[in-house]
Structure 1
Amino acid sequence: MTGYDEIIFPFSPSNKKNRAKNTRMPTYPKSGSAYYHSPMRFRNILLPILLFALVYAFFPSDAPMAQSRTGEVLAGGKKGLYRLASKGKDISSSLIWDIGSVDAIIPSPEGWYLLGSKGVVFSHDLLSFEIRSTGLPTKTLKAFNNGIFELLKEQIEIKSLAFDPASPNRLAVNTATEVWYSEDSGLRWINLGCPSPIQGIKAVGFGPWQGGDRHVIWASHAIKGLFVKDMDVYDAKGPTGWIPASAGLPRIIGSNSEEVSGFALLPSTKTEGLPSRWNFIAGLSFLGR
């Protein structure tokens, strides 16, 4: 699979019955290697690296010939988004989006989000694609082309994207210096600033805090640890209001706390097939937990 930056098994956002029926949650040992927040402290548990696991499921039911294929995956690379299919020992690939590079693929109940050179791209069916980076930060480059200097605008790299599973239209993304928030699936973005004057934001996520059922925005900083921001608090839609939340994380020499490289939510209890409570997972960079 060389040449692909991100590989993921697609699933059908619109077919919740098939997705629940054909997706099995693994069973984890009781102690060991990641940290989850439930509800006010981090606990040590053994967990495979879920943040990098492949997501198994089906293509959307309205995609051409999708229902007859069982060995297909999505793969992102410098040239765009590929659809891969395997038949026996043969693997075929087709480039289904070629407007920019794809560094990450995030499936959601609404569709698929792509991160890459175009910032945030969304597709609900893998047939049509929409760039949803309007309002996100850009940089201006001076390029020398055919003896002439030109000014080119490029998207500043988006490090991570997260959606709120309780309300999938709520998104959060981050660059190295800022966190951005959307309440309409990326059509409009609000700048939430940086929880620290030092750049180094690693990842964002949605998760519970202080035992509540509502999901707040979590941000991980490479040096300063974890921060939370509750968007339901008055005047929270701005660069202020970040609250430190690193208590319980291990410390490493020369730093306030271990670096959190990413987040994930796992359902803890279910009501009528839908998660009613969640465990919040924080993956660590250096201690291998």
Structure 2
Amino acid sequence: MQITQKIPPFLERNLGNVLIIAFLAILYIPILLYWYDGWLNKSINIEHEYFSHALIGFPYATYLIFGKNRHQWQKLPNKNHPLGGFLLALGLAFYITGSAELVAISFPIIITGVMLWLKGMPGLRLNGFPLLLILLATPNSIPYLLTPYTLPLQKFIAAMAGFLLQQLRVNSQVDGIYLYVNNIPVEVAPYCAGLKMLFTSLYVSLLLLHWTGKISDRGRVITLLSGALIISTLANIIRNTLLAVFHGNGQHKAFEILHDGWGGDIYSTGMLIVIIGLNWSLDRFEESSMIISDEKDDNFNE
């Protein structure tokens, strides 16, 4: 007697997608686990630490691709785009080099190639935003390449922190990128110039804009991103001011906690809460403006 096993209907309908997901999982789950462990335990190199916003960015992008956009994706006709094959080949070539930089870059390249190969440009347009989130959260050397150009920002932060210290009547002075408290120097180094906080705040702002459906509202995009820029800059000035006070007064434990410990994480979280509050305030302002506008129209009609 012959026993035949039938493939479950769901698996049969989605066999191609399941195989692709399995292929990507084999290639990238070990890398993703390495990144997540490094971000959570601060054991990854300092340049890749700049991309810790992927802790929320990658899950949100996954939700958009496999959750929110899944039904629209299934309705799209299967249409191969030759650029997809090229990107797949390029991504695999980067992957097999074994270079940490190229392997990381291959991640968004291969995902983009898969979407183009399966659904063509319509598929790419559908998942363009989650792909952008993946690209912006994939570790690369851009922070390292930017460090030679952060000197003006370092001087600005040192000057503003020095101004705050003078207002607080703290014995301090500023010399370029150095803050002196009680004649003990603290350097506003390139990696202390606030780029990580800036990257994170802008990234979270993009998430908020998409989550609230405002990503196509140019005015809201400009307002929230500008606000995030100002908030992150002010937060970093205050942070460097506190670090200088702690170091200059011999409070080394407090300095370490805020500089590279759990205090820095709480401080960054507080900054993000302020940005979320700004987005909420903009929503309330728009609602109030619409109510006032409707009332004026009603009064005019009467």
* TM-score of Structure 1 vs Structure 2, range by shorter chain: under 0.3
TM-score calculated relative to the size of structure 1: 0.26
- Greater helix proportion: 2
Larger radius of gyration: 2
TM-score calculated relative to the size of structure 2: 0.26
- Greater strand proportion: 1
